[in-house]
Amino acid sequence: MFDYIIIGGGSAGSVLAGRLSEDPAVKVCLLEAGPVDSSVLIHCPAGLAVMAQTTHANWAFETVPQAGLNSRRGYQPRGKVLGGSSSINAMCYIRGHRADYDHWAAEGNAGWGFDDVLPYFKRSETNERAAGGDFATYHGSSGPLHVMDLRSPSRFGPLFIEAATQAGYARNDDFNGAVQDGVGMYQVTHKNGERWSAAKGYLTPHLSRSNLQVITGAHTTKILFEGKRAVGVAYRRGGQTLELRASREVLLCAGALQSPQLLMQSGIGPAAHLQQHGINVLHDSQGVGQNLHDHLDIVQVVNAPKITDLFGVSLTGMIRGVRGIFEWRKSRTGMLTTNFAEAGGFIKSQPSEAVPDLQLHFVIGKLVDHGRKPTFGHGYSCHVCLLQPKSRGSVQLASSDPMATPLIDPNFLAHSDDMARMVRGFKQMRAILKSPALASLGGRELDTTARAVSDAEIETVIREKADTIYHPVGSCRMGNTDRDPVDAQLRVKGVQGLRVVDASIMPRVVSGNTNAPTIMIAEKAVDMIRAAHA
């Protein structure tokens, strides 16, 4: 018997397990479907280039065909390993805009405004920049999550920043400070030249605690109830179906794609949908699996064959790579400490926008189809993603089999406003890439996008090539209406002893990368859980 059972060892689950087990009187069990995070491809930052191409530590989901993307199936990589997606992501440390959280609060979620959540961001963080002044107002110096400037940045991030300033954008040295607007270098979740996932920060240092049990290779199949109280879980491991019991709470941290799936498999969801699959309805919750949305992204790739210190497939690139392996193994420095998306920024698609509605990621290599399509030679890429899409989709069950992949439908570009902003962003991105600082490299935009000149042609390219930049949220929306599955305390409505703690609870996606906000959500949930059982 445990006090708490945590389903999912990703960013949120690692935080909950590490924090709740700080109390030696509390027994905590963490279930993770994937393996231990032992692969060198996880700990070496540049290993992410391989992780995206394989199913190692990666669920590698696909969406249903997307009408807005010419009926293509989108790719949805999600971490299947301790640390979850924080063990396979590009490690950018971004919190979003203060207006995101104030919007959450204004929608009826008391305690989730920016001033409420900032202390939890700071609690989670150890930022290796020198603290003091305005920086200390916004950043922490003693948290489990290590954040730093890139240890061995390439020369190309500063060139991107120079190009963007030539195109009229302001420089910003701290996207998580007082102002988000502008371009600059990304800070990363690294320590000593290694990836610093949520598992490494919150979980790994405490695996020896006698009150903490971590079970990997454990795929949770159902939440168990007595009446309407969650009392445990069933899971599959090594061909066996096993059960565990929780005396206080079950904490669901399976992410925006699998948390709603598990709720529905357990009888909590839209009644008609559950009945369609022969699942007994415990609580008719119409909002479970609804409100799914994501950051849609389009990439421009520039071929620069003579610039061989960019990442690329060539004899020179292979020689540099081998040298980089030895340098990283010896001193944890060099080219393999890159997160590839070294620079970027937050810009407005038109001057009238109150806050940035577009994000840029500048990548020091040619990125085609999420890095899954081999490209020879050298070059660089730039992403632009839409920060506040109006399109909404869903997660639904494909069958009553809990091991089946859910039906994932972000419903990209269902709202016309999303396309209009993407087209404007595409043109702004191209203007930056054509500015003198980058044009001096002599690169040439690949024909797949270079052929798009008019708005109609750009729209065609977006429908042909755009896809996620890996930030699905919202499918267990937090709110105070009957259609919101969880309340502002993250408790699942209609039952007891069950909370959802992950990115699925976001009413609206944050304006930026979602890992740091997910960690914040879990830090805040810890205080809620402790208060409930004080």
Say which residue the tokens 């950018």 belong to.
Answer: 92
The question of whether 471 is a catalytic residue gets the answer yes
β-pairing, 283-284 vs 268-269, is parallel
Question: What angle is formed at CA 315 by the lines to CA 310 and CA 321, rounded to 5 degrees?
Answer: 55
CA distances from 137 to 115, 127, 140, 173, 187 (A): 11, 12, 8, 15, 17
Residues 218 and 30: their CA atoms lie apart, in Å, by: 9
Strands 467-468 and 229-237: unpaired
Beta bridge mates, 224: 232
Q: Alpha-carbon distance 532 to 534, whole Å?
A: 6
Give every CB contact of residue 208 below 8 A, 6+ residues apart in sequence: none
Q: Determine contact, residues 84/255, Cβ cutoff 8 Å.
A: yes
Vertex 273 angle, CA 271 and 279, to 5°: 75
Helices (H), 199-311: 259-265, 271-276
Using DSSP bridges, classify how beta strands 219-226 and 229-237 pair: parallel, antiparallel or unpaired.
Answer: antiparallel
Look at the block and give the residue holding tokens 């087209």.
423
Query: What is the C-alpha separation between 28 and 212, in angstroms, rounded?
Result: 5
Give the separation between CA 381 and CA 362, rounded to whole angstroms.
6
How is residue 187 annotated by DSSP? Answer: P
Q: Of these residues, 139, 219, 361, 471, which one is catalytic? A: 471
Strand partners, 145: 125
Secondary structure (DSSP) of 387-421: SS----EEEE-SSS-TTSPPEEE--TT-SHHHHHH
Q: Is 210 helix (H, G, I), strand (E, B) or coil?
A: coil
48 neighbors 311 (Cβ within 8 angstroms): no
| Torsion of the alpha carbons at 302, 303, 308 and 309, rounded to the nearest 10 | 10
280 DSSP 8-state letter: P
Sheet of 290-292: strand order equals: 290-292, 393-396, 407-409
| Cα–Cα separations (whole angstroms), residue 447 to 26, 277, 305, 429 | 59, 46, 15, 16
In this structure, the number of other CB atoms found within 10 A of the CB of residue 470 comes to 23
- Is 496 strand, coil or helix? strand
Query: What does DSSP say about strands 393-396 and 290-292: parallel, antiparallel, or unpaired?
Result: antiparallel
Asked whether the beta carbons of 63 and 73 are under 8 A apart, the reply is yes
Q: Which amino acid is at 154?
A: S
Can you tell me the distance from the alpha carbon of 424 to that of 98, in angstroms, rounded to the nearest whole number?
Answer: 24
* Catalytic center residues: 471
